[in-house]
Amino acid sequence: MLWLDIPTIGDASESALIKFFQPLEDIKTTRDRFPVIKNKEDREVRLLFSSVNKFAFSINKYQTENSDLCLFTKGAPEKVWKMCTHILIDGKPVKKD
């Protein structure tokens, strides 16, 4: 099966991200390595994309020297930009002004 033939569930941008990434690493392998965390009610901590919010996010296990978690988001640039307090310049966080 060609990677373009991989069935996807979700909106067009989610499907495009999966199909872009699949040749680099199997999406299931990636999802198993960085699972979405669950809350006390055993529900995944994520907000699905909607036309009202215009963004989506999930909080995943992702080990770095500073944290065990990472918030991944996608959406309309103006919505995501408003949520940001810092940007990376040469790999270093710089306060957005």
| Predicted TM-score of the model (pTM) | 0.75
Backbone angles phi, psi at 61, to 5 degrees: -70, 130
CA distances from 63 to 26, 52, 71 (A): 20, 32, 12
Per residue of the chain (97 residues), give pLDDT as tens.
455 566 777 778 778 888 888 889 988 898 899 999 999 999 999 998 888 999 999 999 999 888 999 999 989 999 999 999 999 999 899 999 8
The predicted pLDDT at position 4 comes to 58
Radius of gyration in angstroms for the set of CA atoms belonging to the chain, rounded to a whole number: 15
Q: Residue 18 has what pLDDT?
A: 84
Beta strand residue intervals within the chain, DSSP E = 46-47, 55-61, 69-75, 86-89, 92-95
Residue 5 has a pLDDT of 63
Spell out the domain ranges in the chain. 10-95
Question: Homologous superfamily of 10-95 in CATH?
Answer: Calcium-transporting ATPase, cytoplasmic domain N (3.40.1110.10)
Tokens, residue 90: 């040469």
